[in-house]
Structures are given as C-alpha cells and as structure tokens.
Amino acid sequence: MNRKGKLTTKGKHAVILTLTIVACVAAMLFSLLLSVLCDGKHVSSAAHAQNDTHPGIMAGSQRQETDLLTPQWLYYQSNGSVTDCNIKKEMDVLMRKWTKGKLGGKELDRLIKEFLQKKDCPVRKITMLEKAVCVFPSEKELPDYTKTLAKREKIYQFIGVYTGGQQDENGRLLCEYWEVAIG
C-alpha cells in the first residue's frame, strides 16, 4: 500500500494471484467432490425409452479424446428377477469387482459359471460386453435401458454406461458400455 492507503500495482497483482490460486483450489475440490458423489450413481433419461437396442456403439479406433467432463457412471443397474435374491446379490458383487477392474472378463465368466454350478442353476449362455465405446449427444440423451433389464428371460442381466469425461470432435459424450447377460 502506498501512503494514502491505496494498493500499489504490486499489491494488486498479489491480490489477483491469491484470488486465482484460491479459485483454482476451490474448482479442484469441487471437481473431486462431484466425482466422489457421482461414483456408482444411477442417472438415466427416458429420452429413448422406446429403443431397447444400443444405438451408440462404435469402433474403438474412432474414439478421440477432447474436452473433459466429470467421470461417472451414467447408468448402473442389474436385474435378476427370475432367480433367488442370493444369486442376484452375488452377481452384483461380481459386477462391482469387474467394473472396478478387479476382475477381467475371462475371470468373471469363470466365476459366474462356478457360482451358478454350485447353486444348481443351469446356464445356457453368458454374453459379455466390456468397455465398448459408444457416443451420445449428451448425458440427458442416454437411452433408458430399464426395458431391456425388465425382460424376464434372463437369469441375470447387468448394464452399465460409464463416461471417463471425454467428448468427441463434435462435442458428443464418449462412454463405455458394459453388459453381462446370463441366460
């Protein structure tokens, strides 16, 4: 400050620098808080409720990373309505391990078969799709997979859509599609 109590240019720069640092730290903490709060949450939209297929899957070579959004699960649900609740609970535990990277696809397939064999539950087919790249115009335009899960011909079914926070060159949301169906 000068003698008249006004900030000098050097003092103004120091205040601006301090405020910038505080704003950056606040933004990082807010981003961290959002990622913690959104991890594993179910968010969906009925925008495409009539569509039971997965329209957004594309080849991995077409993926381009640009702007970052908050990494989060946009959809994470399962259905095991034709089985007892213990089978669904165990399958849900396996899905959490798989989607967190603690199990690979082959190991998951083996564990599912072993578990269901112990339960005398005949398995005709296990289909699995891991980290298939898909694009959506936005988070709000994600298909509603509830109808797909509601089909009762499966012993167990899981669908998850995860965004790592990237967009393609056209600003569309890049996601990973995860699915397991046990028939």
Q: Return the exposure string of 119-130: e unless at least 16 CB atoms fall within 10 Å of the residue's CB, then b.
A: eeeeeeebebbe
pTM of full prediction above 0.75: no
Q: Would you say residue 173 has pLDDT above 70?
A: yes
- The answer on 98 and 8 residing in a single domain is no
In a domain, 86, yes or no: yes
Q: Would you say residue 111 has pLDDT above 90?
A: yes
Tell me the residue range of the domain where 84 lies.
Answer: 60-182
In a domain, 44, yes or no: no
- The answer on 168 and 111 residing in a single domain is yes
pLDDT of residue 23: 53
Number of domains into which the chain is organized: 2
Helix (H, G, I), strand (E, B) or coil at 116: helix
Half-sphere exposure of 149 (CA within 13 A, CB side): 18
pLDDT of residue 35: 44
- If pLDDT is split at 50, 70 and 90, which confidence band does 51 have? very low
pLDDT of residue 49: 31
pLDDT single digits (tens) 118-171: 888 877 789 999 999 999 988 888 888 888 888 767 888 999 999 998 888 988
Q: Would you say residue 74 has pLDDT above 60?
A: yes
**Rounded-to-10 torsion of CA 86, 89, 93, 95:** 110
Q: Give the angle subtended at the CA of 40 by the CAs of 39 and 44, to the nearest 5°.
A: 110
In a domain, 19, yes or no: yes
- If pLDDT is split at 50, 70 and 90, which confidence band does 83 have? low
